[in-house]
């Protein structure tokens, strides 16, 4: 199967499986999404969704969050892991949003990436899911599957993002980002598929004899 044929099949099959994929992190607005995505670093979405109701009942906007101490934030988000760093980042970015952006989350990649605890992937998720701006944030699922499906060499997350943006239509990026994540969790997991097991891997590479070795993100 040629690369163009793989791209077409993957795009079509993912849309059949997940026509309207939901945003997996519970949130109320751009600010709560930003905080939830920050918390999801090295943590499952399920765990984040268990923690954020308590946090957002206490503070669901930058002003209210700055009324909490870092230790109060940390005590709530502790189950998410990395709570010392994450609590400081949440407190500091909330103050920055007030001081520099009128208390609003900026719909701008560079401005988002200047916030503490907000890397390129987190900024991309917020741009895509909060503001509807086309982005293709690459997480571990997307990085792994893109290699298994022959869409990228996987030399870096940045390279994977560039390759995916080049292969798929811009208007599909936000939906595809979620579709690939859901497929990776359900069918093409790190241990459940080695590049020869799931439907898409088998269809893209029916003659693959050996496990596909992938580069880590």
* Residue range 30-131, CATH number: 1.10.340.30
**Ranges of each domain in the chain:** 3-21+136-204, 30-131
Secondary structure (H, E, C), 131-190: HCCCCCCCCHHHHHHHHHCCCCCCCCHHHHHHHHHHHCCHHHHHHHHHHHHHHHHHCCCC
**Which of 175, 177, 179, 214 minimizes the C-alpha distance to 193?**
214
- pLDDT (0 to 100) of residue 154: 86
> 106: alpha, beta or left, given left = phi > 0 and alpha = psi -120 to 50?
beta
Distance CA 133, CA 106 (A): 12
**What's the whole-number mean pLDDT along residues 168-188?**
97
d(CA 40, CA 58): 19
Q: Is the model's pLDDT at 217 over the cut of 80?
A: no
pLDDT band at 80 (very low <50, low <70, confident <90, very high): very high
What's residue 129's pLDDT?
97
What is the rounded distance in angstroms from the CA atom of residue 208 to the CA atom of residue 194? 10
pLDDT at 153: 92
Nearest Cα neighbor of 160 from 191, 19, 168, 68 is: 168
Tokens 């010392």: give the residue: 84
Is the CB of residue 8 less than 8 Å from the CB of residue 93? Answer: no
> What would the mean pLDDT of 193-209 be, rounded to a whole number?
97
Query: What does the alpha-carbon distance between residue 181 and residue 145 come to, in Å, rounded to a whole number?
Result: 9
Q: pLDDT at position 155, please?
A: 87
The CATH T-level fold of domain 3-21+136-204 is: Endonuclease Iii, domain 2 (1.10.1670)
The whole-chain average pLDDT of the chain stands at 96
Catalytic residue (choose from 26, 61, 139, 194)? 139
Instruction: Clarify whether 29 is annotated catalytic.
Output: no
**pTM (2 decimals)?**
0.93
Q: How confident is the model at residue 7 (pLDDT cuts 50, 70, 90)?
A: very high
Can 121 be counted among the known catalytic residues? Answer: yes
Per-residue confidence band for 79, with pLDDT thresholds at 50, 70 and 90: very high
Picking from 67, 73, 79, 94, the residue whose alpha carbon sits closest to that of residue 40 is: 79
- The better pLDDT of the pair 211, 1 is held by 211
Express as a percent the part of the chain with pLDDT over 70. 100
Q: What is the pLDDT of residues 16-74, one digit of tens each?
A: 999 999 999 999 999 999 999 999 999 999 999 999 999 999 999 999 999 999 999 99
């Amino acid at each position: 199967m040629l690369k163009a044929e793989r791209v077409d099949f993957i795009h079509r099959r993912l849309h059949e499986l997940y026509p309207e994929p939901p945003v997996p992190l519970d949130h109320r607005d751009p600010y709560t999404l930003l905080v939830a995505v920050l918390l999801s670093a090295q943590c499952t979405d399920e765990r984040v969704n268990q923690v954020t109701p308590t946090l957002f009942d206490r503070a669901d906007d930058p002003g209210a969050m700055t009324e909490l101490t870092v230790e109060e934030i940390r005590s709530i988000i502790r189950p998410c892991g990395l709570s010392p760093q994450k609590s400081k980042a949440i407190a500091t970015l909330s103050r920055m949003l007030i001081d520099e952006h009128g208390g609003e989350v900026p719909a701008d990649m560079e401005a988002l990436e200047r916030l503490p605890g907000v890397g390129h992937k987190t900024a991309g998720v917020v741009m895509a899911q909060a503001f509807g701006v086309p982005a293709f944030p690459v997480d571990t699922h997307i990085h792994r599957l893109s290699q298994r499906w022959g869409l990228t060499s996987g030399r870096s997350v940045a390279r994977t993002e560039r390759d995916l943006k080049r292969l798929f239509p811009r208007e599909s990026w936000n939906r595809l980002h979620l579709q690939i994540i859901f497929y990776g969790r359900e069918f093409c997991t790190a241990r459940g598929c080695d590049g020869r097991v799931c439907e898409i891997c088998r269809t893209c590479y029916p003659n693959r004899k050996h496990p596909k070795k992938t580069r880590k993100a």
